Amino acid sequence: MLVLTLVLAAIGFGLLVAALATGSVLWAWGCILICLFGAATLLVSALSTRKPESDSVPPGRHARHD
């Protein structure tokens, strides 16, 4: 998914350059849409690879009992 995000960022940058070179708002909106889709892809990827939190104590640490 990271590769997809990088490709979308490159496409978005290309659309931004095209928008600046031509002065077209249509290219700028295309850049915004591609960048939003890339950000959503990155967020989904980050949330899916996150390790679940567990109640166990990490190695080398002692559980504190009060």
Only one residue has tokens 């002065």, namely 23
Q: What is the pLDDT of residue 12?
A: 95
Tens digits of residue pLDDT in 18-44: 999 999 999 999 999 999 999 999 999
User: What is the predicted pLDDT for the residue at 64?
Assistant: 65
Contact by Cβ (8 Å): 34, 4:
no
pTM above 0.85, yes or no: no
DSSP annotation string for 6-52: HHHHHHHHHHHHHHHHH--HHHHHHHHHHHHHHHHHHHHHHHHSPPP
